[in-house]
Amino acid sequence: MNYLAHAYLARHDDDAMVGAILGDFVKADAVDGFDPVIAREIRLHWRVDAFTDAHEVTRSLKQRFDAGHRRFAGIVLDLYFDHLLASAWPRFNDEPLPGFCARVYAGFARWRHALPERAQAAGDAMKSQDWLGRYGDPGAMRVAVGRVATRLSRNGDALLACLSQIECDPDPFLRGFDAFFPQLVAFAEAERHSITG
């Protein structure tokens, strides 16, 4: 899952949403330096990623990609699942997506002083370009995949090829998301209570 889904899983608390996204920016040896709520959500982020990667639905969906692109499929699936979550947002949350995104951006601004430099830059860009709010827009989805592709030293074109494959036959991915996401929500709730430090 990508940033929107991680924030959604921590939607009960604005500081928790910051921690939920920080899992992509913090190393294990630095977690204890954060506020306990943020530290817990960073750890949960890693468990959510492991659960997602190992889940039968995501493993099955990855097999739909051309063999040469499968190793990049997980990255695109994470982004595409955020697109599906944003597209169907009212099914999952009564709070309108723009208001939810504003809470996430405000949390990043509030904690900016304590964030790693990369997370500060990402938080600034996230807000100025409304990354989370734009996930529902198919054109913005292509921009998001392109942004990740430019960070890869090689094979960035493989990410765009994976997205093109999804776009040619999106129904299996939509069905997969519908089957997987409720299980992910239940997993995150259970795991959150098991994280003690």
- pLDDT tens digit string along 185-195? 999 999 998 98
Q: What is the mean pLDDT of residues 171-180?
A: 96
Distance CA 105, CA 93 (A): 18
Distance CA 110, CA 113 (A): 8
As given in the structure block, the two tokens for residue 131 are 């990354």
Query: By three-state DSSP, how is residue 121 classified?
Result: helix
- pLDDT tens digit string along 57-72? 999 999 998 888 888 8
Distance CA 145, CA 152 (A): 11
**What pLDDT, on the 0 to 100 scale, is given for residue 66?**
86
**What pLDDT, on the 0 to 100 scale, is given for residue 155?**
66
**What pLDDT, on the 0 to 100 scale, is given for residue 158?**
82
DSSP per position, 165-194: HHHHS-HHHHHHHHHHHHHHHHHHHHHHHH
The pLDDT of residue 153 is above 70: no
**What pLDDT, on the 0 to 100 scale, is given for residue 78?**
92
The pLDDT of residue 152 is above 70: no
CB 132 within 8 A of CB 104: yes
Alpha carbon 69 to its chain centroid, in Å, reads 20
**What pLDDT, on the 0 to 100 scale, is given for residue 71?**
84
What proportion of the chain, given as a percentage, has pLDDT over 90? 68
**What pLDDT, on the 0 to 100 scale, is given for residue 97?**
96
CB 16 within 8 A of CB 41: yes
CB 161 within 8 A of CB 66: yes
CB 49 within 8 A of CB 23: yes
Q: Give burial (CB, 10 Å; 0-12/13-18/19+) of 150.
A: exposed
The residue type at 80: Y
Of all residues in the chain, what percent are helix, strand and coil, respectively (each to 5)? 80, 0, 20
The pLDDT of residue 181 is above 90: yes
**What pLDDT, on the 0 to 100 scale, is given for residue 48?**
96
- pLDDT tens digit string along 12-59? 999 999 999 999 898 888 898 899 999 999 999 999 999 999 999 999
**What pLDDT, on the 0 to 100 scale, is given for residue 12?**
93
Rg, the chain, Cα only: 16
The pLDDT of residue 197 is above 70: no
Residue 157 DSSP one-character state: H
**What pLDDT, on the 0 to 100 scale, is given for residue 42?**
95
Query: By three-state DSSP, how is residue 133 classified?
Result: coil
pTM over 0.85, yes/no: yes
The residue type at 86: A
